[in-house]
Amino acid sequence: MTRQRNATLEALLFEYDFSHSGLADKVNDVVGELTGARGRCTDRQVRRWASGEFRWPCTTYLLALERIFGRPPEAIGFVPRGKHSAVRRSAPTAPQERGGDDMYRRTFVTAPVAVTVALALGLDDTPVRGRLAMSDLDRIDRSIGRLDAHFFAVGGGPLLSVCTAYVERLRDALDGCVYGERVERRLHGAISGLYASAGWAAHDSGEPRQAGLLHTASLQSALLAADASAVARAWSNLGLQARLEGRHREAVQITRAALDVRRVRQDPRIAALLHARLAIGRARTADRAGAARSLLAAEQAYDPVDAAGPAPSWLTFLSAGELSGLAAIAHQALGHYRPAQAATVQALALLPPAMRRSRAYYGVQLAELHLAQGEHEQAAHTVAALQHASLDSRRIAGRLAAVQRTLTLQEPRP
């Protein structure tokens, strides 16, 4: 068979200003990011790809090349050798763990999973060179919507590294692309949303300090986007972060500041969410009357939501069921266990099956409320009914483990 040069790859080398050795170094760097072990690609291998001698590189290098050029292998000029040479949509096995370094293990054990998620959600399609148009931002928004849906279904898990990697891609687009003012604002808004999603993933993964940094970055990008809704989202997340760190008065102040923005108050979903979180903050500061007023305000704000049009992807979780769950948290903080239990039961009845993370969260909350009232048999029944096997949330798993330990201690001994 006559060898045919890979003219597409050669054109990409010229477009991206890569020498053969330069591309090899970049491939090795990306392989390191994906697997935890730097690649061993050489300039000789790149020359063989360009000459057509190697028409289909190994999977590890294909994944790296896809990320570098932002396109599938066929669009880089590679030709599959047959059905068995199709790209595996997963990364190679992670390297052996190092003892004594939990952060290192956690980062690279999950790296292949993160790569699989990123590829499955199509996050590498965003251009980092050339002209960005509004249609590109529409595709970016759809990708972020898929990320949000993944979080609501299974929790944070590998999404922390996926979101932060996608942020870096969008920041590369900010620096490397040509665009107009409207596109620029939307791009900053998309980055703000990704930082917010990454913050929640960090929160789910038990990384509170990183979550705070990500939410702060989300606010900065929201301000650059001049997007009142994105700013409100960032403030809301920072308020939640303050509450989780025990700074309850600060959480109340942050949430009230977000509600002072007129446009935010006029959005029924955002206003309802902020009022519900304000109720929890006030409950944590023993402001019973204030918590009751905020819960009522949340209900009233949510009333016209059906006429407000479709929700942005990050707010699709906010339903009547979620509001009941948030109200339950406020009642629980006040020590009102019966109303908290009733509201949690209502939340579980209203939440759709697809919201598996929320259902697991409030399922654990219901078991905690049973324990707080001495109802150990009911707590055991609630735990047994939980469908949490497919979730990837260290936070929820930790709370569930605490409930299970309490139940074990309460079991009668023979």
Q: What is the mean pLDDT of residues 44-63?
A: 86
Q: 383 vs 206, which has greater pLDDT?
A: 383
For the chain, domain boundaries: 7-85, 102-335, 336-414
Model pLDDT, residue 106: 31
At 305, the pLDDT band (50, 70, 90 cuts) reads confident
Q: 402 vs 94, which has greater pLDDT?
A: 402
**For 177, phi and psi rounded to 5 degrees?**
-105, 165
- Report the predicted TM-score, pTM, of the whole model to 2 decimal places: 0.67
Q: What is the mean pLDDT of residues 202-212?
A: 86
Amino acid at 128: V
Please state which CATH class domain 102-335 belongs to: mainly alpha
Q: Cα–Cα distance between 308 and 227 in angstroms, integer?
A: 18
Q: Cα–Cα distance between 309 and 326 in angstroms, integer?
A: 23
Lowest model confidence (mean pLDDT) among 11-25, 246-260, 343-357 = 11-25
For 66-162, list the strands marked E by DSSP.
Answer: 130-131
C-alpha dist (Å) from residue 134 to 9, 79, 185, 187, 299: 28, 32, 11, 10, 36
Model pLDDT, residue 114: 53
Model pLDDT, residue 97: 34
Model pLDDT, residue 110: 38
The helix/strand/coil state of 131 is: strand
- Which is it for the CA torsion 62, 63, 69, 70, positive or negative? positive
Q: Cα–Cα distance between 165 and 147 in angstroms, integer?
A: 13
Indicate the fold that domain 7-85 takes in CATH: 434 Repressor (Amino-terminal Domain) (1.10.260)
Radius of gyration of the chain (CA): 24
Model pLDDT, residue 116: 52
Residue that has been written with the tokens 């259902």 in this structure:
359
Q: What is the mean pLDDT of residues 306-334?
A: 90
Q: What is the mean pLDDT of residues 383-393?
A: 76
Which residues sit opposite 130 in a β-bridge?
A: 177
Model pLDDT, residue 267: 87
Model pLDDT, residue 43: 92
pLDDT in tens, 332-372: 999 999 999 999 999 999 998 888 889 999 999 999 999 99
**Range ranked top by mean pLDDT from 15-19, 39-43, 241-245, 322-326:** 322-326
pLDDT in tens, 217-239: 999 999 999 988 899 899 999 99
Residue that has been written with the tokens 């509004």 in this structure:
134
Model pLDDT, residue 53: 85
pLDDT in tens, 133-182: 888 888 888 888 888 887 887 777 777 888 888 888 888 888 888 888 89
pLDDT in tens, 66-110: 888 888 888 888 887 654 344 444 333 333 333 333 332 233 223
